[in-house]
Structure 1
Amino acid sequence: MDWKKHWERWKHCGWLGEDLQKQLENIQNDEQTLEDCFYKYMDFGTGGMRGELGPGTNRMNTFTIRRAAEGLARYIEEHGNNAKTRGVVIAFDSRHRSREFALETALTLGAHHIQTYIFRDLRPTPELSYAVRHLNTFAGVMITASHNPPEYNGFKLYGSDGGQFPPEPAKEIMKKVNEVEDELAIKTANENDMQASRLLQVIGEDMDTAYNDELQTISIHPELIQEKGDRVSIVFTPLHGTANIPVTRVLETSGFTNVHVVKEQALPDPEFSTVKSPNPEDKAAFELAIEEGVERDADVLIATDPDADRVGLAVKGKDNHYQLLSGNQTGALMLEYLLSQRSKKGTLSKNGVMLKTIVTSEIGRAIAENYGVTTIDTLTGFKFIGEKMKQFEKENTYDFQFGYEESYGYLIGDFVRDKDAVQASLLAAEMTLWYKEQGKTLYDGLIDIYEKYGFYLEDLDSLTLKGKIGEEKIEGLLKDFRQHPPLSIGSKDITVIEDYQTSERWYVREDRKESIHLPTSNVLKYKREDGAWFCIRPSGTEPKVKFYFGVNKANLEQAEETLLQLKMDIMTQVHQYV
């Protein structure tokens, strides 16, 4: 794109609005920033788009939102009147301009006479997924940037099954979005006219009640919770996001009455003012929860991200200090609990399947195998887990038991088709009670799992490389690893190299290749002869390249030492390149 041409187009537009016009004027002498704002249209990927707020074609604003919604509208029109009548349900989180962007989406769809439902107030992503299924809409839109910093927002797309659109239909929508030539000239409907004709309908508390009723069904031992739920002390923080009401509601209605919300983080706040990052993966996000936990002698600390699809746990560890569990550790605890208890109750399906991503810990496979449950890997991103759920449902092949990814996303009940922190919060509370009845903490339960299956440890590192130059560096790094693949790390040989872009798995020692039957993705994974592995993957939502590491050893000390050395060896090589 000729960024100056598009800057001039915006500069002389007379209807940007006072806020965008002022922001544009403030950067008019900063050529580097102007180029970054206008050098391309914001990437619209398979899950939608996410980026920084501001003026320009490469920023989140009224006009890039309209462009995305216009592409979706044209896609829906191609599917006929039934698709238009079923329509779209829209939800939004607590971020800057989320409510406005949700309405702009609705009005753009309204210009195409597409039925639209919009939540009255902010709601979590999993409830949006549930609402798509409950209302039988053709699609759903969630305005959120998940756990990104305050200056970000996003437009997230869902299909009629409540899952994010899989790659093929997503590409069709992307094509429609990219066909929109002038984002400044997109027509929108009048809000009052849409409401008067019932083309725009507001969703209230009935949906909340229906969703909460479904949440009750995931408990394995509801009678235990009703009888002894008050014995578990829970500290919960929504980190200024959407989860406060749905999480506290489901805990209370299930029987957990000893719940304490971190008051400084209870209310929605688009600045996330008490944390550096509203991300439950970040230990610093738990600081206030830990203070409250010490005061209350809490058994478990629960934190959710702004749109409530991710959840993090902190539990009493060694010396009674709170220890943040990794996403893989929480997933292992949930999976072992669900499968062991279903097995004891005789409710575990003989055709059960557990779904995880290729960068998620291999301990999940070991746990599932122990209970006769099949494990199937997907690419990174919960949309691929949702896609598999839809496939199994259609083919009547596997019964879904659990799905998770290392980035703190879990799904227990299939009435939602994306990761659900509300479900996960309820299960975390139930697990805590179950272990407490045995005189154990969740940390004790984790050690039991390690001793049973092996000490699987994982870690994650990343490099943030912003802008056009950053994109080029990330692409160059992946290209370098492809052209010059490491054949050993430390003293151990690489035995398997998986390239998900070429869909090839190379067994190095035999010099034999086979196909990988997954959608293509710019991801590389390397497996070492001792079972250790690492993976390189550009983020789909942030200007980052991520590095995943995993090991499995007989004891904790060996695992920690091997993991540290693996990470050092790889990151030393990476930093030599960038």
Structure 2
Amino acid sequence: MLYQDNYNFWVNNPKIDTETKKELLEMNDNQKKEAFYKDLEFGTGGLRGIMGAGTNKVNIYTIKKATQGFANYLVANKLDNKGVAISYDNRFNSQKFAYEAAYVLAANNIKTFIFKDLRPTPMLSFAVRHFNAGGGIMITASHNPKEYNGYKAYNGEGAQLNLDQANQVIDYINDIKSPFDIKSLKSLSHITEISDDFDSIYLDLVKTIKINEPSKKLKIVYSPLHGTGGTVIPKFLKEMGYEVFPYEPQMIVDPNFSNTESSNPEEVKAYTKSIEYAKSINADIVLLTDPDADRLGIAVLNNNEYTLINGNQTTSMMAYYILDQKKKLGLLPNNGVIFTTLVSTDLIPAIAESFDVKVITTLTGFKFIGEQAELTKDKYEYLFGSEESYGSLVKPFVRDKDAVQAVYLLVEMASYVKDHGMNLVDYLETIYKKYGFYYEWTNNIVLSGIEGSEKIKKITDYYRNNPLTLKDYNLLGYDDINGDIRFKKTENALPKSNVLKFYFDNNLWVIFRPSGTEPKLKIYYGLRDSSNELAKLKIEKINQEILEQIDKL
């Protein structure tokens, strides 16, 4: 069906609401094409996109369609009698979308457990497990800009749907011809609101990740970037005896993200105002969680300046601290396992192997770590899991990234090393000196719209058929995860995914991966060298060489 046919089907449908119809009537032809040239894809991570009218946007109708497809999946797999847990973040329409999902499920005679106020993604994952639900729904666009919203679907283990489960849901969604015929039922008998008492059940388990009892002479600035972390993290840290100073302008629940330049703790500009506040009180560390509180970013006071530590560096320190301290205390099991991803630093496997701990490498996305944690739980003892994009899971009572757990471990680490005359920058340096200097960087090339999608496909298709070459490095081999793997470094088989990883001599690797949730082509770089400064210069040169190649395509 052409985009104009899709548009006409919507604008002329007698069941469409007045507000949506008004938005449709005000569209020019380009806007119609962007809104209707395709259906918003329900990928392995669910839905994510810009809010607005149309089949390619996030709106009440695409939310209902996704939920009906999920309901059909639950019924087909005899999970509908177990119910669904639902949570949501601070974004525009998040609460509205969450309750609309509950009403669609109620019309399918499926009960729901829904948080009466916004709560973090990891708490949703835990709620699925706590209530023994058949699945879960989180309404969030994570760290994306304010124009976005999204829909994450979870299985009964509290992990995001695995590939097989997601494909089943996608098939059921695609079978739905019209979102306007989907029924909703505002049934109180089907919907149970989760009370604030649930917080303590979850936080009591967070407390169990503690390894040491440092002096806690640490001054902490915390910001939830207007999102869900503010509902639980500051209060919890104070209860645990830490001196925490919330940055109040960003503690406000605000879908406009008015008091921050970015809602993404991976971006430097997200820290501007919280670091200004930290300077005014001479804080030791700044902690930022993204709007749905599954990612954590940190900045550390070092030589009178605040140094940002990236996701690979932070999770490497966490992995080392867990293994090193557990070994010292005689708590390190002989069947321990750490999970990492294909795009993450090689430092984490190096650390794990030095402690004789098993390493399992997955595709990008915590759904794969959650899946592997479930599959291997009877064989290995879970010790840590992480990915480069500022996400980690310390203990697997949750099966997704958990920034609440990460915050608690980070403040213990920072306090512990301060008791030993160091800060976290110093601690990271000691790890580098022991294992070598690992430097990683990601170039996010934003390519929006129809032309952007076509450009991303053109680039990945080219390098799939013409393996990457670099002037100063020899290609040793490469993994085409979407097809036949030519040079396999991972022990466990990986599902097919649009990922190309090239291995070069001199400890260099380069990955091409289109984002599954944003209009981006991600190019990842990893290099081990004699110093991070030298590695950074080399990566900058390699990146420029690759960009010049891409410009010629």
- Normalization by structure 1: what TM-score? 0.94
Distance 1:212 1:22 in 2: 45
1:354-373 matches, within 5 Å, as 354-373=338-357
Which residue pairs with 1:398 in the alignment? 380
CA distance in 2, matches of 1:283, 1:463: 17
Alignment correspondent of 1:125: 121
Matched, 1:87 2:83: yes
2:460 aligns with 478
1:520: how far off?
Answer: 0.1
What 5-or-longer segments of structure 1 have no aligned partner? Answer: 508-512
Does residue 172 of structure 1 match 2:154? no
| 1:510 counterpart residue number | none
Whether 1:207 aligns to 2:198 is yes
Deviations 1:446-474 (A, max 9, x none): 11111111010011102111222221111
Shift of 1:167: 0.3
Q: Give aligned-pair identity as a percent.
A: 40
Partner SS for 2:396: coil
CA distance in 2, matches of 1:371, 1:91: 38
Q: Which of 241, 246, 268 is residue 232 of structure 2 equivalent to?
A: 246
Report the Cα distance in structure 1 between the residues aligned to 2:241 and 2:264, rounded to whole angstroms. 28
2:434 matches 1:452: yes
Contact 2:361 2:490 (8 Å CA) reproduced = no
Q: Are 2:310 and 1:329 aligned?
A: no
Q: Secondary structure at the match of 1:526?
A: strand
User: Which of the numbers 234, 258, 278 marks the counterpart of 1:273?
Assistant: 258
Q: 2:500 — aligned with what?
A: 524
Take 1:4 and 1:439, find their aligned partners in 2: how far apart are those partners? 66
- Counterpart Cα distance in 1 of 2:331 and 2:544: 45
2-structure distance, mates of 1:369, 1:199? 49
Query: In structure 2, do the counterparts of structure 1 residues 557 and 46 end up closer, same or farther at CA, with 3 Å as the change threshold?
Result: closer
Name the structure 2 match of 1:418.
400
1:492 has 2:473 as partner: yes
How many angstroms does 1:301 deviate by? 0.3
1:20 maps to amino acid? T
Q: Give the conservation status (yes or no) of the 8 Å contact 2:233–2:404.
A: yes
Whole-angstrom distance in 2 between the partners of 1:545 and 1:75: 31
Distance, in Å, in 2 between the alignment partners of 1:185 and 1:268 is: 34
- What whole-Å deviation, never above 9, does each CA across 1:451-503 have from its counterpart, x for those lacking one? 111010011102111222221111111111112112x4122101021100014
Structure 2 residue matching 1:205: 3-state secondary structure: coil
The CA deviation at 1:254 is: 1.8
Q: What is the rounded CA distance, in whole Å, between the counterparts of 2:426 and 2:55 in structure 1? A: 51
Q: Does the CA contact (< 8 Å) of 2:260 and 2:273 recur in 1?
A: no
Q: Which stretch of the first structure deviates more once superposed, 47-56 or 560-569?
A: 560-569
SS in 2 for 1:113: coil
The whole-number CA distance in structure 2 between the counterparts of 1:556 and 1:8 is: 56
1:262 aligns with 2:244: no
Q: CA RMSD in A?
A: 1.4
Q: Which residue of 1 aligns with 2:56?
A: 58
Identify the match of residue 107 of structure 2 among 106, 111, 114.
111
Secondary structure at the aligned position of 1:501 is classed as coil
Pair 1:11 & 2:11 matched: yes
Q: Specify the alignment match of 1:551 in structure 2.
A: 527
TM-score under structure 2 normalisation? Answer: 0.98
Is 1:316 matched with 2:301? yes
**TM superposition shift of 1:514:** 11
- The total of aligned residue pairs comes to 553
Runs of 4+ in 1 over 4 A off after TM superposition: 513-516
Letter in 1 for 2:402: D
Query: Could you give the per-residue CA deviations for residues 116-140 of structure 1, whole angstroms, max 9, x where no partner exists?
Result: 1111010110000000000000000
Matched, 1:375 2:397: no
Name the CA distance, whole Å, in 1 between partners of 2:255 and 2:429. Answer: 38
User: 1:48-95 deviations in whole A, cap 9, x for unaligned?
Assistant: 110010001111111110000000111111123xx2221101101000
- 1:237 aligns with 223
Letter in 2 for 1:538: P
1:538 to 493, 514, 518: 514
Deviation at 1:277, TM superposition (A): 2.2
Aligned to 2:134: 138
| Correspondence list, 1:345-360, <5 A | 345-360=329-344
Displacement of 1:220 after TM fit? Answer: 0.6
Q: What is the correspondence of 1:5-84 to structure 2 with a 5 Å cutoff? A: 5-27=5-27, 30-80=28-78, 83-84=79-80
Cα distance, 1:252 vs. partner? 1.8
2:144 paired with 1:148: yes
Structure 2 residue runs of 5 or longer lacking an equivalent are none
Contact 2:360-2:492 within 8 A present in 1 as well:
no
Amino acid at match of 1:18: T
**Deviation sequence 1:128-155 (CA, Å, 0-9, x none):** 0000000000000000000011010001
Which of 281, 287, 290 is matched with 1:305 structurally?
Answer: 290
